[in-house]
A and B are shown apart, each in its own frame.
Chain A
Amino acid sequence: AQSVTQLDSHVSVSEGTPVLLRCNYSSSYSPSLFWYVQHPNKGLQLLLKYTSAATLVKGINGFEAEFKKSETSFHLTKPSAHMSDAAEYFCVVSETGGGNKLTFGTGTQLKVEL
């Protein structure tokens, strides 16, 4: 069975400082991994995805994530936070190339302060 664990339910950063949202995964097969963002009262938007190509994945809005098989991690980072980054972030795993069932983590609420 596949699963993801988001290690922090809430993260607070100051505008202009780096963001780190942590995610560990468990999968029986080679996983596809994703980060989705959800702004209040909005749908889920794909930030980036890893599908067994380059281990450092660049996404939208300056976000990137690194797949580390030895650590079973897929942490999301951004060099400099912006107020508009405040949202809920979900780490997601799929075992079948992303075409089938997605398993979501419980989410990390990112707060960005002035």
Chain B
Amino acid sequence: DTGVSQDPRHKITKRGQNVTFRCDPISEHNRLYWYRQTLGQGPEFLTYFQNEAQLEKSRLLSDRFSAERPKGSFSTLEIQRTEQGDSAMYLCASSRTGNTIYFGEGSWLTVV
């Protein structure tokens, strides 16, 4: 396994701009998750996919956030009209159904 890969690792953007993060899961992992972690806190669940289907979304995922996994492989998380409160680390993870969840190294977002 090459591990979960996230890109970019760091992003600084101006308030109001749109940003997109990409996640490449471990190959053959059918589940893919997005979490958000702010300083001093544990990661919080945002959403997850089984193959290409988005099965659950947290109420933390406002309508400015959209996640896709079009072919059941990589996923993107887009944040529109960014706000300073969106500054956080966005973590992607993947697993086979019912098995251990493996995390990527995260994408840091700073909104200025």
Contacts and interface: CB of A to CB of B under 8 A. Distances in A.
Contacts of B93: 44
A102 B45 contact: yes
Contacts, number: 55
A90 B40 CA distance: 11
Interface residues of A, number: 21
B79 interface: no
Interface in B54-112: 56, 91, 93, 95, 97-106
A107 B98 contact: no
A107 to B, nearest CB: 5
B41 interface: yes
Given A99-B97, A99-B98, A101-B48, A44 B41 contact: no
A104 B58 CA distance: 14
B22 interface: no
B92 to A, nearest CB: 9
Interface of B: 4, 31, 33, 35, 40-45, 48, 56, 91, 93, 95, 97-106
Interface of A: 36, 41-46, 49, 90, 92, 97-107
13 contacts: A41-B105, A43-B103, A43-B104, A46-B100, A46-B101, A46-B102, A49-B100, A98-B101, A100-B56, A101-B48, A101-B56, A104-B44, A106-B42
